[in-house]
Amino acid sequence: MATANPWDPASAPNGAGLVLGHFIASGMVTQEMLNTSKKTASCFVNFSRLQQITDIQAEIYQKNLEIELLKLEKDTADVVHPFFLAQKCHTLQSMNNHLEAVLKEKRSLRQRLLKPMCQENLPIEAVYHRYMVHLLELAVTFIERLEIHLETIRNIPHLAANLKKMSKALAKMDILVTETEELAENILKWRKQQKEVCSYIPKILAEENYLYKHDIIMPPLLLTSKVHVQSVNAK
């Protein structure tokens, strides 16, 4: 059962309440003064707030510590996590078993390595025969093109020099093409001139026969100059 507040006039009447009521009625004490006396002191409020802030800071520090631990666990998961450790142990165990089997069969393996492998058949299951056919086709194709691939690899360091040589060869080819075109034009002109000269030779021979029949002798220089003049006129 809650006890009555002796400073509250509204509670059950007692001696203190009657005295306070008398003081309020006479005007010596006001209700505001009584309400102020009931409030908690401000220093105690600050102490409580300081305690709350300290608790919150401690909680924040704890959370930051947990976050750092989670980051560290994430970074080192492949080293310390049980799942990855189990995988590594399984891999190491399989390697260990394989090495033990090799050591047990060391003598037979050594004899097999010393023995030539020519004219021997490797047993392959029937399920893998079609894959072996495809693999052999790929192997034959690779062997056929092996020399080309090797030559290409050898030429890679000299690629820049080869490109320069190719550029020079193309420039020379352009020059030769130009000279060939000029030579072809000159040949065509020469053929045309030869045809024109050949067309005037029968006329000259006919004139010589005519002069010979009529006993007219012309000097050779005149004949040569005549042919030259006729060819010039034809041009």
The answer on pLDDT for 229 being more than 70 is no
The answer on pLDDT for 97 being more than 70 is yes
Residue 109 lies in a domain: no
Residue 164 lies in a domain: yes
Q: What's the token pair of residue 61?
A: 């520090």
208 in the same domain as 133: yes
Query: Based on the structure, what is the number of domains in the chain?
Result: 2
Name the residue among 61, 56, 53 with its Cα closest to residue 69: 61
143 in the same domain as 66: no
Q: Which of 13, 48, 79 corresponds to the end of one domain? A: 79
Given this model, what pLDDT does residue 225 score? 47
Residue 9 lies in a domain: no
149 in the same domain as 72: no
pLDDT digits (tens, 9 = 90+) for 102-123: 888 888 888 877 776 655 566 7
Residue 29 lies in a domain: no
Residue 197 lies in a domain: yes
Residue 23 lies in a domain: no
Residue 53 lies in a domain: yes
138 in the same domain as 209: yes
73 in the same domain as 136: no
Question: Across residues 21-35, what is the average pLDDT?
Answer: 71
68 in the same domain as 133: no
132 in the same domain as 194: yes
Domain range for residue 52? 40-79
- Given a contact cutoff of 8 angstroms between Cβ atoms, the answer to whether 84 and 78 are in contact is yes
Q: How many CB atoms lie within 10 A of CB 193?
A: 13
Which has more pLDDT, 7 or 57? 57
pTM, two decimals, is 0.27
Q: How confident is the model at residue 5 (pLDDT cuts 50, 70, 90)?
A: low
Q: How many CB atoms lie within 10 A of CB 6?
A: 14
Residue 181 lies in a domain: yes
Cα–Cα distance, 20 to 34 (Å, whole number): 9
